[in-house]
């Protein structure tokens, strides 16, 4: 057991436990309903940040899998009447769709820009289609898709095996919190496996990795599937939180929001997207309460400034600053503590 935990390399358990404690106590100090959606967005941003930061794959239409998770949950929950199987489907079906699209892109050896177009177009197709599904003929089982107005009135999460005990409020919050922490650990675990090492290798130099015998398209497709599955899960929680699913889950705004959160938090870290989504999600909710400043204006400006001035994001900049600070303060008596992390010794100055 201990070795299993240790094999999740790179988790700073002190920070992790501190963060988990904050999540545990947060409902005492803050509106639970708002906190829940912030965690859902954090999970969504984690799904994109994992793929973007560690495999170098940027999806311009990640809302496709988020929205798919939401719709699959809503449709199957209406038909089944409880939430356990719909929850699983909301993870599996986005993963399946991602498998098809990912395989098509990565085995087709499509370059960055074209990948951007494809991912964007997939989300647009879903957006257009869902907007056009008003009317009785568009129904899956008992579930009417409802077009532009969306689907209200599906059963929300319940205790597995007990459909009459539904979760609401604080329990839902903790479901989202635990899911977020587990997904974080899952990402860390994947990165610590040899699969994760290959992933980083492909990000740095795909040709070299292939010459070493690794199957780059397969690895990239796999990471795309994992990311889409997490996005689907966050979409499913979002449907539960909002209690209605509308085509706006597929919208360009959803895609651009998650890119901005991830980018600002820091591409190439896992905590960056999480904190970025929570902080900027809060800003988004606050901006939504007033009409003086348009929130597109604010987020557009943020994205431009971050790309130009801080392309690595806030958290990496902070980590660098923190690392410099602690190294400086520890420098005189650095004898005792061996660092577990693999670091490259800086070259001697001439």
Partner 1 sequence: MDYAGVVFLEIIYMIAFLALTSAGLAVVFGMMRVINLAHGEFVMLGGYTTLTCYKAGINIYFAMLIVAPIVVGLIGLIVERLIIRFLYGRMIDTMLATWGLSLFLIGAVTMIFGSSAVNVPTPISGYELGSYQMGGYNLFIIFVAFAVMAGVWLVLRYTRVGLIARGAMQNAAVASSLGYNPKTVYMITFTAGAALAGLAGGVLAPLTGLLPTSGGAYIAKAFITIVTGGAAVIAGTLSSSVIFGVVSQVVSFASTPVIGEIAMLALAIVLLRLMPQGITGRFFRNST
Sign of torsion, CA 219 320 179 249?
negative
Give the shortest CB-274-to-partner 1 separation in angstroms.
20
The set of residues, in sequence order, having a beta carbon less than 8 Å from that of 275 and lying 6+ positions away, is 42, 265, 315
- Is the Cβ of residue 46 or residue 263 nearer to partner 1 in the bound state? 263
CA distance 348 to 208: 29
- Is the Cβ of residue 109 or residue 320 nearer to partner 1 in the bound state? 109
Tokens 């947060």 identify what position? 26
- Is the Cβ of residue 112 or residue 204 nearer to partner 1 in the bound state? 112
- Is the Cβ of residue 29 or residue 309 nearer to partner 1 in the bound state? 309
- Is the Cβ of residue 19 or residue 129 nearer to partner 1 in the bound state? 129
Give the shortest CB-184-to-partner 1 separation in angstroms.
24
Contact 74, 87 (CB under 8 A): no
Contact 120, 44 (CB under 8 A): no
Give the shortest CB-141-to-partner 1 separation in angstroms.
23
Give the shortest CB-255-to-partner 1 separation in angstroms.
9
DSSP codes of every residue in 246-310: -GGGGSHHHHHHHHHHHHHH-BTBSHHHHHHHHHHHHHHHHHHT-SSS-HHHHHHHHHHHHHHH-
Pinpoint the alpha helices (H) of the chain.
2-6, 13-29, 32-55, 63-80, 84-107, 112-131, 170-192, 194-204, 206-211, 216-242, 252-265, 271-288, 295-309, 314-330
- Is the Cβ of residue 36 or residue 269 nearer to partner 1 in the bound state? 269
Give the shortest CB-294-to-partner 1 separation in angstroms.
4
Contact 116, 242 (CB under 8 A): no
- Is the Cβ of residue 183 or residue 280 nearer to partner 1 in the bound state? 280
Separation of first and last alpha carbons in the chain: 47
In DSSP terms, 244 is beta-bridged to 152
Contact 227, 51 (CB under 8 A): yes
Q: State phi, psi for 340 to the nearest 5 degrees.
A: -75, -30
Give the shortest CB-218-to-partner 1 separation in angstroms.
17
Give the shortest CB-45-to-partner 1 separation in angstroms.
15
CA distance 230 to 41: 11
- Is the Cβ of residue 113 or residue 347 nearer to partner 1 in the bound state? 113
Task: Give the HSE-up count for residue 325: Cα atoms under 13 Å, Cβ half-sphere.
Answer: 6
- Is the Cβ of residue 138 or residue 174 nearer to partner 1 in the bound state? 138
Give the shortest CB-134-to-partner 1 separation in angstroms.
11
| Residues making contact with partner 1 (CB under 8 A) | 58, 60, 104-105, 108-114, 116-118, 120-122, 124-125, 128-129, 131-132, 252, 256, 259-260, 263, 293-304, 307-308, 311
Give the shortest CB-23-to-partner 1 separation in angstroms.
30
């Amino acid at each position: 057991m201990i070795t299993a935990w240790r094999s999740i390399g790179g988790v700073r358990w002190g920070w992790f436990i501190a963060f988990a404690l904050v999540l545990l106590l947060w409902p005492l100090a803050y509106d639970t309903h708002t906190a829940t959606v912030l965690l859902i967005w954090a999970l969504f941003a984690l799904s994109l940040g994992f793929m973007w930061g560690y495999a170098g794959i940027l999806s311009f239409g990640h809302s496709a899998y988020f929205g798919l998770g939401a719709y699959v949950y809503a449709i199957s929950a209406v038909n089944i009447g409880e939430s356990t199987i719909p929850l699983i489907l909301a993870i599996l079906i986005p993963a399946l769709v991602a498998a098809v699209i990912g395989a098509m892109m990565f085995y087709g050896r499509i370059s960055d820009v074209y990948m951007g177009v494809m991912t964007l177009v997939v989300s647009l197709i879903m957006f257009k289609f869902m907007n056009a599904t008003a009317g009785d003929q568009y129904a899956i089982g008992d579930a009417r898709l409802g077009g532009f107005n969306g689907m209200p009135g599906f059963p929300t999460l319940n205790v597995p095996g007990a459909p009459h005990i539904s979760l609401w409020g604080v329990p839902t919050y903790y479901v989202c919190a635990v899911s977020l922490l587990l997904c974080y650990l899952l990402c860390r675990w994947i990165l610590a496996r040899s699969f994760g090492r290959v992933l980083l290798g492909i990000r740095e130099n795909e040709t070299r990795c292939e010459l070493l015998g690794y199957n780059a398209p397969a690895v990239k497709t796999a990471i795309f599937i994992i990311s889409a599955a997490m996005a689907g899960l966050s979409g499913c929680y979002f449907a539960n939180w909002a209690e209605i699913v509308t085509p706006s889950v597929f919208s360009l705004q959803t895609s651009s929001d998650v890119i901005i959160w991830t980018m600002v938090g820091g591409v190439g870290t896992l905590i960056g997207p999480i904190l970025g989504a929570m902080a900027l999600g809060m800003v988004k909710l606050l901006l939504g309460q007033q009409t003086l400043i348009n929130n597109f204006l604010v987020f557009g400006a943020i994205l431009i400034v971050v790309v130009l001035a801080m392309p690595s994001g806030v958290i990496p900049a902070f980590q660098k600053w923190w690392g410099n600070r602690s190294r400086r303060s520890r420098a005189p008596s650095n004898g005792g503590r061996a660092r577990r992390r693999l670091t490259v010794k800086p070259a001697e100055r001439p």
